[in-house]
Structure 1
Amino acid sequence: MENSNNILTSTVAIGKNSSHPLIANRPGYGTMRLTGKDVWGEPENRPEALQILRRAIELGVNYLDTADYYGYGVTNRLIEEALYPYPSDLIIGTKIGAMRKDDKSWNVFSKPEQLRQSVENNLKELKLEQLSLVHFRVMPVGETSFEESLEAMFQLQNEGKILHVGLSNVSREQLQTGLKMGNIASVQNLYGYTQRTTLSGPMGGAGGEEILDLLEENEIPLIPYFSLQTSLNKTQEKIEQVAKKYELSIAQMNIVWLLHKSPWILPIPGTTSLAHLEENLNAAKTTLDKEDIEFLS
């Protein structure tokens, strides 16, 4: 299945400083919401979930975000069923470092042997011989040191199981450490117009604000998660005002803002609605006036 109706107009390079950079169209698509309630089990409407994945590709999306602990294994299996054999330009980015138990809890899974097991899970579920991009997801309380886990990631890369190594949920200090250890292709942190720093909870959430300048300096994409989260504060009032001007929802304007904020941001908005998918991708073509950009800043 190749793109037949590409409506996306901008790109970003993943792993630009490597010998095998990947070019992703902006925005991509995050698959987490395609699971059941609490990111657990099969989607309520499985046929529509498959249709969403296929339609995203038709409209030009070539970056999909997934993880073997979504569902768990659900989003990987949906991607495989909907899209295999994959388009030649499709980039599937996944995350490891966490796992789910039958009580739906989120747990650390960051020992070297556990990271290897997760990579093998993703390879099997996605029917791939090599994973294009794997983010090491740092949990609030780790079982091993950050350095030991990341070294295991680079070892898997050396074995050819991973093409590009990324990081997720990292602080500025951890990112600086990672850059000294090897080539970091991308970073996936919490970031959105109304949520830029940290998020509490079992999965934690380091923000993108404190590292964006470092990523831009090193030409590394920021792939924000939870970017559509909104909160009732004065910040939301500003984006709501601009959204009304362009006849967009607040969530859609957040996508537009992320695309304007930096050419190194790769938004991955997720949705369980085929109609919302098309609306989000069409909204991404919106060009903000200079005055509106300054107002939102």
Structure 2
Amino acid sequence: MNASSTALPGGTWALGDSTVTRFGYGAMQLAGPWVMGPPADREGALAVLREAVAAGITHIDTSVAYGPRVTNALIHEALHPYQESLFIATKVGANRDAQGGWPTARRPEDLHKQIHETLQTLGVETLDLVNMRMGDAQGPKPGSLTESFETLVELQRNGVVRHLGVSNVTAEQVAEARGIAPIVCVQNGYNLAHRHDDDLIDRLAADGIAYVPFFPLGGFTPLQSEALTAVAARLEAMPMSVALAWLLQRSPNILLIPGTSSTAHLRENIAGAGLALSDDDVAELERIGR
């Protein structure tokens, strides 16, 4: 079992040779509207990052595509030189266009460029974790990831990347990646209402591989459900707190990276994720996504 106890909800998990808090922080919302441009409140964004680390969070997720390059620059300004315990996960495989789209960028030359920009903007010589992002903005798509993933494996051999993962992928692509090189995590869209990866999560847990759900609270369309509202009312809690707590109780290999641009909301998320759900609560919530 990789999990153990810590002051933050959920304890910790081993990502490769590092131990991280299962409750982490996703930096995407620190960029401007639709993840483009600088934040409206730069000092507020820096304060959120510093508050996350002060709260004990050791797992921060980012991408050079956020902004683009905006969240990486904020992380560097707020937290560099980084604490030894801080683990920064990033991803490659997509760019941004002038319309705010997410065009794919997975050719070897694209990936080398993104890795170089990530190293530069974060101010490090080696990246803790790089997730190979597949699919598109609508979700995973079938197809081989071999060429792209092998490029990251080459960079790992060269000492530029410590650990590898995959993101926005099908179960078949997870198996394909694992046939090429070890991975430490899978990052896919998953929450109470979208349970397509249930079997995959259980298989990964058995093999000691983390599952990191993005949009754990529904993303740009927050989760809404009568059952979620009912359980929250019974517990005198916010529905989003119940959704986070359910994820932590769902499986010990699930790592949370909820994002926010508010220090108050960050504290609410941490407190809410620590809710204890009864068997009856869980049974009622389980019906939402099934």
Both structures adopt the same fold (TM-score exceeding 0.5): yes
User: Which secondary structure state, in structure 2, belongs to the residue aligned with residue 136 of structure 1?
Assistant: strand
| Equivalent pair of 1:136/1:166 in contact (CA under 8 Å) | yes
The amino acid across from 2:74 in the alignment is L
Name the structure 2 match of 1:70: 66
Which residue of 76, 83, 89 corresponds with 2:85? Answer: 89
The amino acid across from 2:112 in the alignment is R
The amino acid across from 2:67 in the alignment is G
Q: CA deviation at 1:145?
A: 4.2
Asked if 1:212 corresponds to 2:190, the answer is: no
Q: CA deviation at 1:41?
A: 0.4
Per the alignment, do residues 296 and 145 of structure 1 end up closer, same or farther by CA in structure 2, a change over 3 Å counting?
A: closer
Name the structure 2 match of 1:125: 121
| Equivalent pair of 1:6/1:58 in contact (CA under 8 Å) | no
1:191-248 per-residue CA deviation (whole Å, 9 max, x = no partner) reads 0111233xxxxxxxxxx3352122112111111001101454xxx2112211122222
Q: CA deviation at 1:109?
A: 0.6
Asked if 1:51 corresponds to 2:40, the answer is: no
What is the 5 A alignment of 1:241-260? 241-260=230-249
Name the structure 2 match of 1:35: 31
Q: State the percentage of identical aligned residues.
A: 38
What is the 5 A alignment of 1:214-293? 214-229=203-218, 230-232=222-224, 236-293=225-282
Distance 1:291 1:217 in 2: 26
Distance 2:236 2:185 in 1: 32
TM-score normalized by the length of structure 2 = 0.90
> Which 5+ residue runs of structure 1 have no aligned equivalent?
16-20, 198-207
The amino acid across from 2:191 in the alignment is G
Per the alignment, do residues 150 and 131 of structure 1 end up closer, same or farther by CA in structure 2, a change over 3 Å counting?
A: same
Name the structure 2 match of 1:14: 15
The amino acid across from 2:41 in the alignment is N
| Equivalent pair of 2:12/2:22 in contact (CA under 8 Å) | yes
| Equivalent pair of 2:127/2:160 in contact (CA under 8 Å) | yes
Distance 1:210 1:7 in 2: 27
Distance 1:211 1:46 in 2: 38
Asked if 1:154 corresponds to 2:150, the answer is: no
Q: Number of matched residues?
A: 274
